[in-house]
Chain A
Amino acid sequence: MPDIKVTPLGAGQDVGRSCILVSIGGKNIMLDCGMHMGYNDDRRFPDFSYITQNGRLTEFLDCVIISHFHLDHCGALPYMSEMVGYDGPIYMTHPTKAICPILLEDFRKITVDKKGETNFFTSQMIKDCMKKVVPLNLHQTVQVDEELEIKAYYAGHVLGAAMVQIKVGSESVVYTGDYNMTPDRHLGAAWIDKCRPDLLISESTYATTIRDSKRCRERDFLKKVHETVERGGKVLIPVFALGRAQELCILLETFWERMNLKAPIYFSTGLTEKANHYYKLFITWTNQKIRKTFVQRNMFEFKHIKAFDRSYADNPGPMVVFATPGMLHAGQSLLIFKKWAGNEKNMVIMPGYCVQGTVGHKILNGQKKLEMEGRATVIIGTLDVKLQVEYMSFSAHADAKGIMQLIRMAEPRNMLLVHGEAKKMEFLKDKIEQEFSISCYMPANGETTSIVTNPSVPVDISLNLLKREMALGGPLPDAKRPRTMHGTLIMKDNSLRLVSPEQALKELGLSEHQLRFTCRVQLHDPHSDNDTLGRIYTHLKSVLKTYSIQHVPDGTVIVESIVIKVTSSAEEPNLKVILLSWSYQDEELGSFLSTLLKKGLPS
C-alpha cells in the first residue's frame, strides 16, 4: 500500500529538540535539525544512526528543511552537515538564512569558549554549512528534483518562521514547525490554504495549554517596569536585535506617553546597527498589512527612547535600557548587568530562553552569586545578584484551540503530533478524531509511523478509446460514478497511458488473437435442417427479447457474435447436431444458449 513514513529522531521522550524524518513517494526529507539544550553530551544531538549506521547522509536524504532560527530547530545543523556529513540542499527562508549563522556562532562561542567543550562544530563549519542553504520565498513552489517539490507558508511565531508543504506526485505532507494562530503586534498569524495534505505534522508541546492573553503579559511587563522606575530603580532588558525588542519599545513608548513619565529609556547602539540590517529583511518578508502598521513608525523615531551611551549606565536615577545580547553572555548587556546587579531596587527582565552556561540561564535558575570571568576565563571575583529577576515569556505559540484552527484551515486527511506523551494527549487525539473524522497519530521519539495514503494516479487516455466508449451508447458518463471500461494500461518511462487493446498490440508489434468456442448440441427433431433452424430462430427470439437475432439466408442464425448452424447425418436425419460457435467476448451468452438449447425446442 502506498504510505508515508514519519520518524521523530532523537533519544528519550524529552521535548526540546525537533528533527523529523519523512519518507514520501520514495524521497527522504529531514525536517529541522535541532539541538537539545538540556544535555551536555551526545544526547543533545538527534540520533542519525536511524538513517545510516556509518558514513555520510548525503545519499540517504533528498533534502533538509529548517523551519526557523530557534536553536531547538537548527542548533544541530552544522554538526549534521559537517561532522556527520551531508552535501545536499538545505532549505530555509531568507530571514532564517540571515539569522541562523549568528545564533549558531553565539551558541558555539558559549559552548566552546566558555564551557570548554570539544566535540562541537567550529566557526568554519557553520560557514560551510550555510553555503549549502537554498533560500525559500513564501508561497513559491520549489522543485527539489523532478518529483519532489516544496512550498513555504507564513507561520508567524518569529521572523522568517515557515510551515512547509512537501509534495511528491499526488501525495503531500505539511510540517508546521512552530506557529501561532493569534496575530502578534509585529507578526501576523499563520496561514495556509485548503491544500488537503495527506498528513499534517505538528508539535504537541503547547497543545494542552490555554494561553494567557497577550495583553496580560504586556500588563505584567509594564507593571514591573513602572514599579521599578517609581522606586528609582533601573531596568535592564537584554534582547536579540529584532522582533520582540521593537514590540516592547512601542509598548513602553505608548505607556510613557500616556502616563507622562519622565524616566529615560535607552536603546543600545549595538542594537541599532544590527536592527537596521534586520529591518530591511523584515520589510521584504512581512505582508502588506504588517508592513503598513510597522513601517509607519521608523524604529528610531521614538519620542521617549534614545540611543544609549555606555557612560549613561553610571547616571543616577531611574532608567530603562534595551541592550544586546539577549542571554547576558557577553557584550553590552552583560557590562550593564554587572554594574546594576548589586542594587535591589533594580530589575532585569529576561524576555526569552537562555542557553546553559550563560549568566541569563544562571540567574533564571535563582542563582544569587555569580563567578565573574575576565578575559582568559580567569575568575576575577564574585557578583552578588541583588536586583530583581523577572522571566517573561512573550513567544507566540499555538495552543489547543490553535491546532484545531489550523486543521480546519488545511483540511489534512491525517494528523500527526510529535513531542507529546501519548497518555497525556488522548483527549486531544479523541477531539481531533471526532471533530474532523481523521486519524491522529502520536509516535514516540525513534518510533516510525506509517500513514497509508490513497493517492490518485493520473493516466492519459487515448482519444480513440474515449470515442469508442462514447459510441457504445448508454447514459452520458457521470463524473462522480465509476464506469467500467476495457483498455490496456501502458507504463513506460514515467508516463501512464490507457489505450485500446488493438493499439497496445500494435505498439508492441504483436498480432491480436481471437478466441472462439464451439459447442455441439444434439437434438431430436423430425423437421428438415432448415426448418429446425427456423424453429431455433423463433424460440430464441421469444426468449432473448433484447438481443439482436438474425436469420441469415445462408443457413445460420446469428445472436450477437454467436453463430448457430444445424446439420444432420444421412443415416439419422432426425438427429440434429446444432453447432454453436462464439467468440470469447460473448462467452456468457454462448454458455447460456448452449444450456438453453440442450433443453430442447418447444413443440
Chain B
Amino acid sequence: MDISSDESDDWFIESLNTYKDLHVFQLEHPTKVIEWTGDKNICVAGYTGSRSEILELLLPLKLYAGENQGLCAERDFKVQHGGFSEEPIESLIHISGTRCVVTSGSSSSTLQIWDIGGDDSDVIKRTGVINLKSTSVKGCKIAPGLTDEPAVLHGSCISEVQLTEIATGRVLYTVAKESSDSVSGLQFVNACVFLICASDGTLFMGDTRDPSTCHYPLEDSKSGLHWAFGLRSDSSQSEPSGCTVARLSSSGHMLLSDLRNLQSPFCQTQLNVQHDASKNDFLNVSWAPVLDRCLSVSGKKCSSPQPVFSHRGHEMSDEAKYSGSPPVVTTHSWHQSRPKTLLSAATDGSLHVWDWVDKITDR
C-alpha cells in the first residue's frame, strides 16, 4: 500500500491534536526488543545481519522535564552504553535491580549474559553464557526470575523450560512436562509462580516449590494459529489472585483469563485482523501498567472493534513512503509510570516515543 505525500501530511497535521508528545527516531538497524533497564533507560538490539549491536538508550529528557518542559530542548535519545553480539538478537530481558541483561539469538545453542556497565565505561560486555539443550529458529524464550538471586526462566519448547541461576549456571527448576509444543511466551507472576503460553494457546502454570505443572488447553483450538500472551499483575510479589492473562491468536481471537481460573476465560472477543499465516513473528499483546483495564496490540493490522487509539506513525513516516511494503511494528512497550506514553519499533528501523490523547477523557 502506497502512502501518498498528502495522506502522510494529513496524519502529521492531525497529530497535533491526537498526540501530546511525539518523537520519531531512526535506528541504524531495526530492533524487535524494547526492554526497560531503568526509569529513563531502555535497551534495544539488532536482529538483522550476522553481527548485532545492543544499545542502552536514555530517553529524551524533555519527557521528564515536567513543568519546565518548555525550557528543555533535549529531544534526542542518548546512547549511554553499547555492545556487540555475534548473533542476531531475538529476545532481551533485564534482571531487575542489577545491570545485567540476558539475550537469546535465533538458532543459537546458548543464552548470552551481559553487563551493561556503569559510569566508568560505555561498553556492554558479555560476562557469560547459559548452555541450552537445543536450538530453535525463533530463539529461546526468556523471562527474568523474581527472586533476590538473579535467575532466568527459559525454553523453546515446554519440556525444556527450566530456571537457571545466572551466577553459577545451576539449574534451579525444570518443568516436568513431556510436551514438544513450542513456547510463545513465559513470565513469572511472583517469586515462585510462573506461566507459560504455548504457541497453540495452551497455558501452563508452575510453581518452583512444586515439581508438577498444571496445564490448561484451549476449549476449541484450531490448528495453524499462533498465540501471543500478556500478563498483568495488580501488585507484584504477592498473591497471584490479582493477575490477568490476555491471549491473542493470529486470527484475532482474544481471551482474558484470571489466574484463579485459567480453564475458563472470563472474557472473549474477536478482533478483525489481516490473517496472514506467514507473518506472526511480531504479534504482541500487553497490558498498560498504569491505566485500568487497557490492552495494546501490535504486529497485525486490526480494523475492528474501534480501538481507543491507533498509532499509525510507522506507516506514515517519510521512510515508509519510499519503500515497497509498509513497515510492521516489531514490538512495543508501555512507559512504566507515565500513563499514556508508549514506545514502538518497526521493521524499517524506526523507533517512536508517543503520548496519545484520549479524546474522551483529555478534553
List residues of A whose CB falls within 8 A of some B CB.
208-213, 215-217, 219-220, 222-223, 226, 255, 258-259, 364-366, 388-393, 399-401, 404, 423-428, 430-431, 434
Contact A255 B28 (CB under 8 A): no
Chain B residues 68 to 123 lying within 8 A of chain A, measured CB to CB, are 68, 70-73, 75-84, 120-123
Contact B76 A212 (CB under 8 A): yes
B128 at the interface (CB under 8 A from A): no
Interface code B42-53, partner A: CB below 8 Å = 1, 0 otherwise?
000000000001
B225 at the interface (CB under 8 A from A): no
Can you offer 16 A-B residue contacts whose CB atoms are under 8 A? A208-B79, A208-B80, A208-B122, A209-B79, A210-B25, A211-B76, A212-B23, A213-B24, A215-B12, A215-B318, A216-B22, A365-B71, A390-B70, A392-B73, A401-B28, A423-B121
Q: Name the residue in A212, A404, A434 with the highest tally of chain B Cβ atoms < 10 Å from its Cβ.
A: A212
Known interface pairs A366-B68, A427-B82; A404-B13 also in contact (CB < 8 Å): no
Q: How close is A253's CB to chain B, nearest CB, in angstroms? A: 14
Cross-chain contact of A212 among B71, B72, B75, B81 (Cβ < 8 A): B75
Q: Which A residue sits closest to B354, measured CB to CB?
A: A216
Contact B13 A258 (CB under 8 A): yes
Known interface pairs A211-B25, A216-B23, A223-B16; A427-B83 also in contact (CB < 8 Å): yes
Contact B71 A364 (CB under 8 A): yes
Contact B25 A389 (CB under 8 A): no
The residues of A that contact B218 with a CB separation of less than 8 Å are: none
Cross-chain contact of B24 among A208, A216, A404 (Cβ < 8 A): A216
Name 9 extra pairs, CB < 8 A, besides A210-B57, A216-B24, A389-B71: A209-B78, A219-B16, A258-B13, A364-B71, A366-B71, A391-B70, A423-B122, A427-B124, A434-B84
Contact A219 B12 (CB under 8 A): yes
B60 at the interface (CB under 8 A from A): yes
Contact B123 A426 (CB under 8 A): yes
The residues of A that contact B53 with a CB separation of less than 8 Å are: 431
Q: Which B residue sits closest to A226, measured CB to CB?
A: B16
Contact A430 B123 (CB under 8 A): yes
Q: Which A residue sits closest to B68, measured CB to CB?
A: A366
Complex-state Cα separation, A427 to B80, whole angstroms: 9
Q: How close is A391's CB to chain B, nearest CB, in angstroms? A: 4
* Number of residues from B at the complex interface, CB < 8 A: 37
Chain B residues 107 to 147 lying within 8 A of chain A, measured CB to CB, are 120-124
Interface code B12-37, partner A: CB below 8 Å = 1, 0 otherwise?
11011000001111111000000000
Complex-state Cα separation, A212 to B16, whole angstroms: 16
Q: Which A residue sits closest to B349, measured CB to CB?
A: A401
Q: Which A residue sits closest to B27, measured CB to CB?
A: A210
Contact A209 B77 (CB under 8 A): yes
Known interface pairs A423-B122, A426-B121; A389-B70 also in contact (CB < 8 Å): yes
Complex-state Cα separation, A404 to B71, whole angstroms: 31
Contact B13 A259 (CB under 8 A): yes
Contact A209 B76 (CB under 8 A): yes
The residues of A that contact B76 with a CB separation of less than 8 Å are: 209-212, 399
The residues of B that contact A213 with a CB separation of less than 8 Å are: 23-26, 317-318
Contact A393 B75 (CB under 8 A): yes
Complex-state Cα separation, A392 to B73, whole angstroms: 5
Q: How close is B45's CB to chain A, nearest CB, in angstroms? A: 14
Per CB-CB distance, the 9 closest pairs between chain A and chain B, nearest first, are A427-B82, A212-B75, A213-B24, A210-B77, A393-B73, A391-B73, A209-B76, A390-B70, A208-B79
The residues of B that contact A366 with a CB separation of less than 8 Å are: 68, 71
The residues of B that contact A425 with a CB separation of less than 8 Å are: 122
Q: Is the interface of A mostly helix, strand, loop or mixed?
A: helix
Complex-state Cα separation, A425 to B80, whole angstroms: 9
Q: How close is A400's CB to chain B, nearest CB, in angstroms? A: 6
The residues of A that contact B71 with a CB separation of less than 8 Å are: 364-366, 389-391
Q: Which A residue sits closest to B316, measured CB to CB?
A: A215
Chain B residues 168 to 214 lying within 8 A of chain A, measured CB to CB, are none
Contact B75 A216 (CB under 8 A): yes
Contact B121 A219 (CB under 8 A): no
Q: How close is A374's CB to chain B, nearest CB, in angstroms? A: 28
The residues of A that contact B84 with a CB separation of less than 8 Å are: 430-431, 434
Complex-state Cα separation, A439 to B194, whole angstroms: 49
Q: How close is A493's CB to chain B, nearest CB, in angstroms? A: 51
Give the A-B pair count, Cβ closer than 8 A.
95
The residues of B that contact A388 with a CB separation of less than 8 Å are: 70
The residues of A that contact B16 with a CB separation of less than 8 Å are: 219, 222-223, 226
The residues of A that contact B73 with a CB separation of less than 8 Å are: 391-393
Complex-state Cα separation, A132 to B12, whole angstroms: 49
The residues of B that contact A212 with a CB separation of less than 8 Å are: 23-25, 60, 75-77
Contact B123 A219 (CB under 8 A): no
Q: How close is B357's CB to chain A, nearest CB, in angstroms? A: 11
The residues of A that contact B24 with a CB separation of less than 8 Å are: 212-213, 215-216
The residues of A that contact B80 with a CB separation of less than 8 Å are: 208
Q: Which B residue sits closest to A224, measured CB to CB?
A: B70
Contact A400 B79 (CB under 8 A): yes
The residues of A that contact B82 with a CB separation of less than 8 Å are: 427-428, 431
Complex-state Cα separation, A216 to B351, whole angstroms: 13
Known interface pairs A210-B25, A391-B73, A424-B122; A255-B13 also in contact (CB < 8 Å): yes
Q: How close is B13's CB to chain A, nearest CB, in angstroms? A: 6
Contact B77 A426 (CB under 8 A): no
Complex-state Cα separation, A208 to B26, whole angstroms: 14
The residues of A that contact B57 with a CB separation of less than 8 Å are: 210
The residues of A that contact B124 with a CB separation of less than 8 Å are: 427
Chain B residues 160 to 174 lying within 8 A of chain A, measured CB to CB, are none
Complex-state Cα separation, A106 to B28, whole angstroms: 41
Q: How close is A409's CB to chain B, nearest CB, in angstroms? A: 16
Q: How close is A274's CB to chain B, nearest CB, in angstroms? A: 25
Q: Which B residue sits closest to A259, measured CB to CB?
A: B13
Contact A210 B79 (CB under 8 A): yes
The residues of B that contact A210 with a CB separation of less than 8 Å are: 25-27, 57, 76-79, 351
The residues of A that contact B77 with a CB separation of less than 8 Å are: 209-210, 212
Q: How close is B117's CB to chain A, nearest CB, in angstroms? A: 9
Contact A427 B79 (CB under 8 A): yes
Complex-state Cα separation, A391 to B72, whole angstroms: 6
Q: Which B residue sits closest to A222, measured CB to CB?
A: B16
Q: Which B residue sits closest to A391, measured CB to CB?
A: B73
Complex-state Cα separation, A223 to B23, whole angstroms: 14
Complex-state Cα separation, A212 to B77, whole angstroms: 7
The residues of B that contact A222 with a CB separation of less than 8 Å are: 16
Complex-state Cα separation, A317 to B263, whole angstroms: 64
Q: Which A residue sits closest to B83, measured CB to CB?
A: A427
Q: Which B residue sits closest to A392, measured CB to CB?
A: B73
Q: Which B residue sits closest to A208, measured CB to CB?
A: B79
Complex-state Cα separation, A222 to B13, whole angstroms: 9
Cross-chain contact of A404 among B12, B23, B28, B120 (Cβ < 8 A): B28
Q: How close is A221's CB to chain B, nearest CB, in angstroms? A: 10
Complex-state Cα separation, A30 to B94, whole angstroms: 48
Q: Name the residue in B71, B81, B351 with the highest tally of chain A Cβ atoms < 10 Å from its Cβ.
A: B71
The residues of A that contact B60 with a CB separation of less than 8 Å are: 212
Contact A219 B15 (CB under 8 A): yes
Q: Which A residue sits closest to B16, measured CB to CB?
A: A223
Q: Name the residue in B26, B73, B78, B120 with the highest tally of chain A Cβ atoms < 10 Å from its Cβ.
A: B73
Q: How close is B244's CB to chain A, nearest CB, in angstroms? A: 34
Q: How close is B29's CB to chain A, nearest CB, in angstroms? A: 10
Q: How close is A494's CB to chain B, nearest CB, in angstroms? A: 47
Known interface pairs A210-B27, A212-B25, A223-B16; A217-B122 also in contact (CB < 8 Å): no
Chain B residues 201 to 244 lying within 8 A of chain A, measured CB to CB, are none
Contact B122 A426 (CB under 8 A): yes
The residues of A that contact B12 with a CB separation of less than 8 Å are: 215, 219
Q: How close is B189's CB to chain A, nearest CB, in angstroms? A: 35
Q: How close is B197's CB to chain A, nearest CB, in angstroms? A: 33
Complex-state Cα separation, A428 to B72, whole angstroms: 26
Complex-state Cα separation, A365 to B23, whole angstroms: 24
The residues of B that contact A211 with a CB separation of less than 8 Å are: 25, 76
Q: Name the residue in B24, B60, B317 with the highest tally of chain A Cβ atoms < 10 Å from its Cβ.
A: B24
Q: How close is B34's CB to chain A, nearest CB, in angstroms? A: 14
Complex-state Cα separation, A159 to B351, whole angstroms: 30
